[in-house]
Amino acid sequence: MQKSYAPANDRYNTMLYRRCGKSGLHLPAVSLGLWHNFGFLDDFENARSTIQEAFDLGITHFDLANNYGPPAGSAEENFGRILKMDLKSHRDEMIVSTKAGYYMWEGPYGEWGSRKYLVSSCDQSLKRMGLEYVDIFYSHRPDPDTPFEETMGALDQIVRQGKALYAGISNYSPEQTKKAVKILNDLGTPCLIHQPKYSMFERTPEKGLLHVLKTGGIGCIVFSPLAQGLLTNRYLKGIPEDSRAAKPSALFLNKEDITPEVLNKVAKLNELARTRKQSLAQMAIAWLLKDEAITSVLIGASSPKQLADNVGAIQNIRFSKSELQEIEIILNQKT
Ligand SMILES: NC(=O)c1ccc[n+]([C@@H]2O[C@H](COP(=O)([O-])OP(=O)(O)OC[C@H]3O[C@@H](n4cnc5c(N)ncnc54)[C@H](OP(=O)(O)O)[C@@H]3O)[C@@H](O)[C@H]2O)c1
């Protein structure tokens, strides 16, 4: 059993905070996501220590979704417990987000983008976390069958009801983003932030989305910045038993993704990181933060140690032209 927790007094001394688009809100350059490692199947005390370490290092933003676990909902429940135990008196120092969009419960109202689903799901999330409101509520993915007016109308309603302070979208294409942003603006609840997948291995946001966000004054928080652990030293000597790729629940990263071609690139990137006196995880995060339009990099961590390593990225987010060129050469290598 852990002792009672008191946050570090120097927690705001080193973290960088960036303005989220043209809003009044600042987010830490590194935020913590609870997709993996915080559910009922995970070690609760490890999850709790990781959140404490995050808060001590100036991470004020914690990202959840209705379906995080497993089982779905359990990350929110555990987070609620940890909040109550350790951070109750610090709620106003924290930005908590959650989302609805993916499958959550059976029947026609348990996924996608209807008003019925988003509003019910938000109520459920608040209950699981024991919160009166979340700071950001997201539409987790666009729904091809529901008018955007309805999905955005639900976000606007949730904000007006005081259940969320800001609205966000995730996994929307550039065109879908423009449409959603216009509707939200017209409703008077501007889109605060977009959450796309972006890393050295996943460059889609460079093909239009980042431009839409920059010109629209919308914040950008990027997920899976380490390609779920590939862009670290985790898999350089095989697949560790306790790694995401080895877990039976690994639906999103599996052993087949860790090919010799990928490992060859990772090893070369690891060497380059060493010349910058960074771990590969730190270089991968810094590489995203070099662009000021990236408000925050949303990492996952399976231990306080990984989390601390990742936060160390902020100590050097500058790249020389030749380093950037070398990274592109490595990423584009075919063998
Ligand atoms: N909006 C969406 O649709 C969406 C989708 C996915 C994720 N997200 C959000 O983004 C967050 C982050 O996603 P992610 O977990 O895929 O991010 P990630 O940072 O790319 O991967 C995290 C994993 O990388 C490994 N790792 C992290 N730091 C490390 C280090 N310093 N050294 C070695 N290995 C390290 C750990 O894997 P091991 O477990 O193997 O140790 C960790 O669980 C999620 O929690 C969620 O909040 C959003």
Distance set, CA 241 to CA 84, 125, 127, 165, 234 (Å): 32, 32, 35, 41, 11
Residue 96 dihedral angles phi and psi, to the nearest 5° = -110, 130
Q: What are phi and psi of 19, to 5 degrees?
A: -65, 135
Ligand 1 binding pocket mutation candidate from 41, 224, 278 (most atoms within 8 A of CB): 224
**DSSP string of 108-168?**
TTSSSS-HHHHHHHHHHHHHHHT-S-EEEEEE-S--TTS-HHHHHHHHHHHHHTTSEEEEE
Q: Is 21 in the pocket of ligand 1 (CB under 6 A)?
A: no
Residue closest to 300 by CA, chosen among 219, 240, 231:
231
Atom of ligand 1 lying closest to residue 195 CA: 1
Q: Is 234 in the pocket of ligand 1 (CB under 6 A)?
A: yes
Residue 103 covered by a domain: yes
**What pLDDT is attached to residue 1?**
63
CATH of the domain at 194: 3.20.20.100
Q: Which tokens hold the place of 93?
A: 């120092």
Q: Pick the residue whose CA is nearest to atom 22 on ligand 1.
A: 300
Residue 273 in any domain: the answer is no
> Could you read off the pLDDT tens digit of each residue along the chain, which spans 335 residues?
667 899 999 999 999 999 999 999 999 999 999 999 999 999 999 999 999 999 999 999 999 999 999 999 999 999 999 999 999 999 999 999 999 999 999 999 999 999 999 999 999 999 999 999 999 999 999 999 999 999 999 999 999 999 999 999 999 999 999 999 999 999 999 999 999 999 999 999 999 999 999 999 999 999 999 999 999 999 999 899 999 999 876 568 888 889 999 999 999 999 999 999 999 999 999 999 999 999 999 999 999 999 999 999 999 999 999 999 999 999 999 86
- 310 touches ligand 1 (CB under 6 Å): yes
Is 30 a member of any domain? yes
* 61 pocket-lining for ligand 1 (C-beta < 6 Å): no
What pLDDT is attached to residue 249?
63
Is the shortest distance between the CB of 42 and ligand 1 below 6 Å?
no
Task: Measure the CA–CA gap between 240 and 327, rounded to whole angstroms.
Answer: 26
Distance 170 CA to ligand 1 centre (A): 16
| Per-residue confidence (pLDDT) for residue 254, from 0 to 100 | 84
Is residue 254 a part of any domain in this protein? no
Rounded to an integer, what distance in angstroms lies between the CA atom of residue 262 and that of residue 230?
8
Amino acid, single-letter form, for residue 7: P
Q: Is residue 237 part of a domain?
A: no
Q: Which domain holds residue 95?
A: 17-230+289-315
Instruction: Give the dihedral sign, CA 34/40/46/47.
Output: positive
Question: Do the domain assignments include residue 46?
Answer: yes
Choosing from 30, 35, 221 the residue with most ligand 1 atoms within 8 A of its CB, the one to mutate for a pocket test is 35
For every residue of 309-329, which 3-state class applies, written as one string? HHHHHHHCCCCCHHHHHHHHH
Give strand pairing partners of 95. Answer: 61
Q: Beta-carbon neighbour count of residue 28 at 10 Å? A: 23
Q: Looking at ligand 1, which residue's alpha carbon is closest to its atom 47?
A: 33
Residue type (1 letter), 2: Q
CA of 107 to the centre of ligand 1 (A): 30
Residue 247 has a pLDDT of 83
> What is the whole-number distance in angstroms between the Cα of residue 206 and the centre of ligand 1?
21
Any domain includes 102? yes
- Flag whether 181 is in a domain: yes
pLDDT for 2: 67
In a mutational test of the pocket of ligand 1, which residue from 43, 140, 234 has the highest number of ligand atoms less than 8 Å from its CB? 234
CA 24/CA 51 separation, integer angstroms: 25
> Looking at the 3D structure of the chain, how many domains does it have?
1
